[in-house]
Structure 1
Amino acid sequence: MFNNLTDKLDKAFHILKGHGKITDVNVADTLKEVRRALLDADVNFKIAKEFTTKVKEKAIGENVLTTLQPGQLLVKIVKDELTELMGGDVAGINLSGTPSVILMSGLQGSGKTTFSGKLANFLKSKKGKKTLLVACDIYRPAAINQLHVVGDQIGVEVYSEPENKNPVEIAQNAIKHAKANGFNVVIVDTAGRLAVDEEMMTEIANVHKAIQPQETLFVVDAMTGQDAVNTAKAFNDRLNFDGVILTKLDGDTRGGAAISIKSVVNKPIKFIGTGEKMDAIDVFYPSRMADRILGMGDVVSLVERAQEQYDEEEARKLQKKIAKNEFGFDDFLSQIQQIKKMGSMKDLVGMIPGAGKALKDVEIEDDAFKHIEAIIQSMTPAERSKPSLIDVKRKNRIAKGAGRKIEDVNQLMKQFEQMSKMMKMMQGGGGKNLMKMMGGMKGMR
């Protein structure tokens, strides 16, 4: 996420390295590179220029504390300004109304239907809401079927009227159905449209007027950069939407949309999509995103994800096993499964401060643990529960069963032994040791 922008900003700050203070000359050179990095990330020229002007005004004359270097001070100022540019505070979603009605709008191909499912899943699992998805895309072939597949996948009901070609009527009937059946939230998925298509824009404006949603969200593909910002403005002029959703932030995103969309439409980014799975959705925190853009990681989000998978009862059992030196490969495998539930490996590594830079040339696949899992699954139940049983003969059998070399088995055994010692020392970290474990396994490919 934003790797190119992060690298270029890092190089820009290096200009100040070795300087004892911030001056007009060295800050001008640095901010010239910052502006160039923003433009390369597809940030609007006017916004990039205004941004660097604000940073310069705050940096010049600023007293550099003895604990800070000029470069560190400038990073802090840039971080604060980036946070403000992207919205400052986190924006919540309006769930008032009985039921709450959320209207999804966006361009063709922006990932709107998929994200409607992700949002429904988020509201169901995180907020405890009984949610109804509504299929109002009457144009795209198989759009209704796609939403039904998504609904089945997450266990959320989908309302559709395949023979009805009036999206206003479908949306109104769905809300009646929701009221009669105790639904808390209704998410209306509309057809993707082009901002220049007057007929289609009028249609969604009519749906909006008829159902009076508590939230109108504009879904945009973050990979389209400045074009996304321009289309957001065109939609906002017609719908006056309440917030933006950025999808596909797990791709090779240049970052322009995330950085500049708030200042153009004056509407907050509310959610981001970070992968293909139905749980790959995050609330958008401007300050956390600024940290990630500047290569500082996002420890808070990482801890929150770990806590979601943290089972206190399992942790207590694990604590007892560690205390008795009974931590085995089945427990190891269980911890791996918890890590995998937290999201894509690439995204998780990006949240660890400094890891993105250290591993920038390392391709981290979501199946990074598959070789470890294969080796463990080739062990007998006795070997998993008592690793000390595994001698050379057993290692050869395990390696053959897993389709790996004996060196891979030896490496895993060594890492397992080191981690067992570490967990013994930490005494009872249980699920809280997830991140430590990740570091210990990065060599297994």
Structure 2
Amino acid sequence: MFDNLSERLERSFKILKGEGKITEINVAETLKDVRKALLDADVNYKVAKNFTDTVKEKALGQNVLTAVKPSQLMVKIVHDELTQLMGGETAEINIDARPAVILMSGLQGSGKTTFSGKLARMLKTKKNRKPLLVACDVYRPAAIEQLRVLAEQIEVPMYCELDSKNPVEIAQHAIQEAKAKGYDLVIVDTAGRLAVDEQMMNEIAAIKEAINPNEILFVVDSMTGQDAVNTAKEFNERLDFNGVVLTKLDGDTRGGAALSIRSVVNKPIKFVGTGEKLEAIDQFHPARMADRILGMGDIVSLVERAQEQYDEEEAKRLQKKIAKNQFDFNDFLSQIAQIKKMGNLKDLASMIPGVGKAIKDIDIDDNAFKSIEAIIYSMTPAERSNPEILNGSRRTRIAKGSGTTIQEVNRLLKQFDQTRKMMKMVTSSKMGKMMPKMKR
């Protein structure tokens, strides 16, 4: 995401490199390039102009410390203004009520149904809520079936009335059902259209009036650029929604919608969809997104994703095995599974400062572990538990069974052996530091 904008902004800041001080001339030249970069990223013209005007005012009003280069100061100012442009503070979702009712709105194809499932899963696992998904799209049978499949995948109940064509009544009955059965969160998926029309607007407005939701989220495909902003404006005028959800942000290298929508509708972006997997949903943090746009990575989000997959008991068990040099291919498979659950591999790598730029032209497939897994699954249980027994004939059999070459098998075994040695060394070093403390 934001690849094109990040690259263009970096080029803009190079204008100030080597300059001894900030002047009106070099700032004007830099910001002319920044504004062009924003417009090319499909940012609203008025938003781009106001943004660069504010940056210029702040840049010329500051004295550059001798320890800070003009280009570094400009990056800092642009970072702060990007953060403000996208909302400043992280906006929380309002689910204090029990049951809390969330109403989804948006055009057909924006990703409302998929996001409903993602949000239910997130709030179930992170907030310990008991969600009920509600199918109020009475026009598209596939929408009900899609929501049913998602509900089964995340093990959450779904409410629908196949014989009813009244979405208002369905939503009302679903809330009654939630109260009766102790569900403390109701997520209402509504119908969309290919374009904004009066019938759709009247219908969702009627649902809003009937159920009085605690939160109305507007779901929009970020890849539609300025159309996303215009649609948000129309929906907000009718619904006065609480927040925006940007889907398919992983596929949008420009990012104009994320940078424009907050200013145009004056409503915060609350969530972003970053892939097809059910766990590919992030709360939107303006400052972290500004970091990523400027190529600074996003270590905090990376650590949070890792912590979500972290199992303390499993970690203790693994540490003991590593200390005894007993880390095997079963443990290796387990670690791969945890990494895969964290999300898109290229997205994860780009969260590490400096890595995003280095891999921008490299295609990192989500199936990058496929051949490694095939090799390990072609081993017998005994071979996985005792890698030392993998002699030449066993390696040849594994290569044939996994559809790989003997060279690939040997390479994996060598890398595994090096990894195991390094892990043991790190673990032993930590234990050595702990021992003097324990003796006191």
TM, length-normalised to structure 1: 0.93
Shift of the 385–65 alpha-carbon distance from structure 1 to 2, 3 Å rule, reads farther
Shift of the 329–196 alpha-carbon distance from structure 1 to 2, 3 Å rule, reads closer
**Residue 314 (structure 2) aligns with:** 314
**1:3 Cα shift?**
1.0
Contact 1:423/1:429 (CA < 8 Å) preserved in 2?
Answer: no
Partner-residue secondary structure (3-state), 1:101: strand
Partner-residue secondary structure (3-state), 1:15: helix
Contact 2:5/2:253 (CA < 8 Å) preserved in 1?
Answer: no
Alignment root-mean-square deviation, CA: 1.8
CA distance in 1, matches of 2:57, 2:420: 52
CA distance in 2, matches of 1:34, 1:360: 20
| 2:232 is aligned with 1:232 | yes
**Residue 145 (structure 1) aligns with:** 145
The number of equivalent residue pairs is 430
**Residue 216 (structure 1) aligns with:** 216
Partner-residue secondary structure (3-state), 1:234: helix
CA distance in 1, matches of 2:226, 2:62: 33
Letter in structure 1 aligned against 2:15: I
**Residue 406 (structure 1) aligns with:** 406
CA distance in 2, matches of 1:267, 1:75: 26
**Residue 339 (structure 2) aligns with:** 339
CA distance in 2, matches of 1:425, 1:23: 53
5+ unaligned residues in a row in structure 2: which ranges?
431-440
**1:271 Cα shift?**
0.8
Contact 1:318/1:428 (CA < 8 Å) preserved in 2?
Answer: no
CA distance in 2, matches of 1:66, 1:426: 41
**1:21 Cα shift?**
2.2
CA distance in 1, matches of 2:128, 2:3: 35
1:142-185 CA distance string (max 9 Å, x none) = 22222112211211111111221111111111111111111101
Letter in structure 2 aligned against 1:309: Q
Partner-residue secondary structure (3-state), 1:142: helix
Contact 2:105/2:218 (CA < 8 Å) preserved in 1?
Answer: yes
Contact 1:205/1:238 (CA < 8 Å) preserved in 2?
Answer: yes
CA distance in 1, matches of 2:388, 2:142: 56
Letter in structure 2 aligned against 1:316: K
**1:226 Cα shift?**
0.8
CA distance in 2, matches of 1:169, 1:295: 49
**Residue 325 (structure 1) aligns with:** 325
5+ unaligned residues in a row in structure 1: which ranges?
431-445
**Residue 102 (structure 2) aligns with:** 102
1:363-374 paired onto structure 2 within 5 Å = 363-374=363-374
**1:297 Cα shift?**
1.1
CA distance in 2, matches of 1:376, 1:69: 51
1:280-337 CA distance string (max 9 Å, x none) = 1111111111111111111101101111111111111211122122222222221111
1:316-373 CA distance string (max 9 Å, x none) = 1211122122222222221111111111112211211111111111101111111111
CA distance in 2, matches of 1:137, 1:57: 49
**Residue 27 (structure 1) aligns with:** 27
CA distance in 1, matches of 2:429, 2:403: 33
CA distance in 2, matches of 1:142, 1:425: 54
**1:19 Cα shift?**
1.9
CA distance in 1, matches of 2:391, 2:30: 58
Partner-residue secondary structure (3-state), 2:141: coil
Shift of the 63–395 alpha-carbon distance from structure 1 to 2, 3 Å rule, reads farther
**1:428 Cα shift?**
7.2
**Residue 395 (structure 1) aligns with:** 395
1:128-139 paired onto structure 2 within 5 Å = 128-139=128-139
CA distance in 2, matches of 1:295, 1:118: 28
**Residue 436 (structure 2) aligns with:** none
**Residue 385 (structure 2) aligns with:** 385
Partner-residue secondary structure (3-state), 1:271: strand
**1:415 Cα shift?**
2.0
TM, length-normalised to structure 2: 0.94
Contact 1:12/1:30 (CA < 8 Å) preserved in 2?
Answer: yes
CA distance in 2, matches of 1:319, 1:92: 37
Partner-residue secondary structure (3-state), 1:98: coil
**1:67 Cα shift?**
3.9
Percent identity over the alignment?
Answer: 70
Farther off after superposition, 33-42 or 399-408: 399-408
Partner-residue secondary structure (3-state), 1:193: coil
| 2:165 is aligned with 1:165 | yes
Shift of the 14–125 alpha-carbon distance from structure 1 to 2, 3 Å rule, reads same
CA distance in 1, matches of 2:260, 2:417: 48
CA distance in 2, matches of 1:280, 1:190: 21
CA distance in 1, matches of 2:326, 2:169: 62
Shift of the 414–241 alpha-carbon distance from structure 1 to 2, 3 Å rule, reads same
1:41-52 paired onto structure 2 within 5 Å = 41-52=41-52
Shift of the 235–405 alpha-carbon distance from structure 1 to 2, 3 Å rule, reads same
